[in-house]
Amino acid sequence: MLKGKNIVLGVTGGIAAYKACDIASRLIKLGAEVHVIMTRAACEFVAPLTFKSLTGNKVHTSLFDENEEGVPHIDLARKADAILIAPATANFIAKAAGGIGDDMLSTTILAANDKKIIISPAMNTHMYENKVVQENLEKLRGRGFVVIKPATGRLACGAEGVGKLPEPGEIVERVVMELAFEKNLLGKRVLITAGPTQEAIDPVRYITNHSTGKMGYALARVAKAKGANVTLVTGKTNLPAPVGVDVVEITSARDMFREVTERYFEQDIVIKAAAVADFKPKNVNDKKTKKENGELNIELDRTDDILKYLGQKKAHQVLVGFCMETENLIENAKKKLEGKNLDMICANSLTVPGAGFGVDTNVLTILTKDGEKMELPMDTKENLAAVILDKIATINEQ
Ligand code: CTP
C-alpha cells in the first residue's frame, strides 16, 4: 500500500521511542522505504542500530557526519513523500513551531515546508496540556502539519491521563490514509454497512451467516482515507473499528434498517456491503426453547429489504449494493441493480477461489446503471475498495 513511498521517520527523545521500532517495521511491511532521523535524546532510549537493522538504511543522528555524501537534510526533505515524527516531544514541537534548526531532524523539517508532515506527540499529561505546548501544536496545524491526538492511559511516569503514543498500528494507518489514496471523496458523507445480522430465535440462539465484515470495513477505511466523513453501520464482527470513522453497532436486520434509514437523507453515498438476513423467526421466545421429543419447526418471516427501500426513497444519493451468488452471477446482479434502483452493484461469486467470506481477497464484477461492466481480478479487499470508491466518486460528480 506504500510501495515506492519514501517516508522519513523522525524519532525524538521520549520513552515511547521504543514504539517507533514497531512503526518502522510496519511501514516497511507495507512497502515503504524508511529513512530514520534520531535526535540525540532519542539515542539515549533506542540504539540507532535497531533502526538500521529494521530499515536497511543508514540512520541519521547528526548534522555533521563526515561520512555523509551530499547535503543529507536537504536530500531527505526533497525525497520524502511524508515525514512522520513519532514520538514528538514538547521540545521538538517547540523547535518546529519556532522555526529552529539546530540538529538533523529540525533542519530537515525546515527544508520540507512543501511536504506532508505528521507528528504524534507523546509526553506527560501536564506537559501536553501546558498552554505553550497547545499553542505550538496549534501553530503547526495552522501550517498544515497533521497532528495525531495522543491516547489516554497509564503513562511511563505512573500517572493516568492523555499523552500516550497511540498504538503503532493506529499511527501507521494514519500515514497510509494521508498517502496511499487519492483524496477524491473530500467532505463527502458516506454510509457503509458491513458484517452479518443476527436474528434471535430465543435469548440463547440466533440465525446468522458467514459474513466477517472484511469488505465493508475495508471500504470504510479507504473512504476515510479518501477524505470522506464515514459512518459504518455494522453487525457483530471481530474487526477493529476503523480510525476516524463513526461506528454504529447493530444486531438485527431491523436495527440496521432503523440506523441506516435515520441517516439516509444526510448522505451523499450509501454502500450496502452487509450480509443482511433475509428471514427472521416469526416468534421470538423470551425464554430458552427446551428440547422436546420430536422435531422443532421454526416459522420464518421476511426481514425488510433495506437496500430496496433505500432505492425507492432515493433522492440525491449514489446508492451501491453488493451481491453474492453461487450461480448466474451477472444475470442476478443485473436484476438486483434494476430491481433495487441502484447506481452500481459489486457482484462476486462464492464459487471462485480467493472470493467470499472471511478471506482478505475478493474477485468482483462491477456493473453500473449506465451499462458499464468492470471485471476486477483477485486483489486485496482494500485495493478493490479503492477501485469501487474511485468509480463511485466519478458517478457522484456526474
Ligand atoms: N440487502 C438488504 N436487505 C436485505 C437483504 C439484502 O439491504 N434484507 C442488500 C445487501 O446488503 C446487498 C444487496 O441487498 O447489498 C443484495 O443482497 P443479496 O443477499 O445478494 O440479495 P437479496 O436481495 O437478498 O436476494 P437473494 O437472497 O434472492 O439473492
Closest ligand 1 atom to Cα of 302: 8
Write down the pLDDT at residue 180: 81
**Residue 151 and residue 216 in one domain:** no
Cβ atoms within 10 Å, residue 59: 23
Distance (Å, whole) CA 135 – CA 131: 6
**Residue 281 and residue 172 in one domain:** no
Write down the pLDDT at residue 310: 98
Helix or strand (DSSP H, E) at 375:
strand 373-380
- Residue 63's pLDDT band (cuts 50, 70, 90): confident
Write down the pLDDT at residue 238: 95
**Residue 22 and residue 80 in one domain:** yes
Write down the pLDDT at residue 56: 97
Distances, alpha carbon 226 to alpha carbons 111, 119, 173, 222, in Å: 27, 20, 13, 6
Q: What is the mean pLDDT of residues 147-165?
A: 91
Distances, alpha carbon 182 to alpha carbons 176, 222, 268, in Å: 11, 10, 18
157 is known as an active-site residue: yes
Q: Is 201 in the pocket of ligand 1 (CB under 6 A)?
A: no
Amino acid at 1: M
Q: Is 323 in the pocket of ligand 1 (CB under 6 A)?
A: yes
Domain count, the chain: 2
pTM across the whole model: 0.80
**Residue 174 and residue 27 in one domain:** yes
- The strands making up 82-88's β-sheet, listed across from edge to edge, are 33-38, 6-11, 82-88, 116-121, 146-147
The torsion angles phi and psi of 9, rounded to 5 degrees, stand at: -105, 110
Write down the pLDDT at residue 339: 97
Q: What is the mean pLDDT of residues 86-112?
A: 97
pLDDT, tens digit, 9 for 90 and up, residues 367-385 = 999 999 999 999 999 899 9
Above 90 in pLDDT, residue 114? Answer: no
**Residue 319 and residue 268 in one domain:** yes
Above 90 in pLDDT, residue 182? Answer: no
**Residue 184 belongs to a domain:** no
- Indicate the DSSP class of residue 388: H
**Residue 48 and residue 170 in one domain:** yes
Closest ligand 1 atom to Cα of 277: 8
Phi/psi class of residue 97: alpha, beta or left (left: φ > 0; alpha: ψ in -120 to 50)?
alpha
Above 90 in pLDDT, residue 358? Answer: no
CB–CB of 61/38 below 8 Å?
yes
- Residue 49's pLDDT band (cuts 50, 70, 90): very high
Residue % of the chain over a pLDDT of 70: 100
Q: What is the mean pLDDT of residues 341-360?
A: 89
* CATH number reported for the structural domain that contains residue 251 in this entry: 3.40.50.10300
**Residue 291 belongs to a domain:** no
Find the farthest-apart pair of alpha carbons in the chain and give their distance in angstroms, rounded. 87
**Annotated catalytic residue: which of 21, 157, 323, 346?**
157
Which carries the bigger pLDDT value, residue 225 or residue 253?
A: 253
Alpha-carbon dihedral sign for residues 210, 213, 214, 219: positive
Calculate the average pLDDT of the chain.
94
Pocket test for ligand 1, best of 256, 280, 306, 392 (most atoms within 8 A of CB): 306
Above 80 in pLDDT, residue 68? Answer: no
Please give the distance, rounded to the nearest whole angstrom, from the Cα atom of residue 257 to the centre of ligand 1.
13
Pocket test for ligand 1, best of 278, 300, 318, 326 (most atoms within 8 A of CB): 278
Closest C-alpha residue for ligand 1 atom 20: 323
**Residue 210 and residue 329 in one domain:** yes
Q: Is 329 in the pocket of ligand 1 (CB under 6 A)?
A: no
90 alpha-carbon distance from chain centroid: 28
Range of the domain at 388: 189-286+297-397
pLDDT, tens digit, 9 for 90 and up, residues 215-247 = 999 999 999 989 999 999 999 999 989 888 999
Pocket test for ligand 1, best of 302, 329, 336 (most atoms within 8 A of CB): 336
**Residue 258 belongs to a domain:** yes
Please give the distance, rounded to the nearest whole angstrom, from the Cα atom of residue 325 to the centre of ligand 1.
10
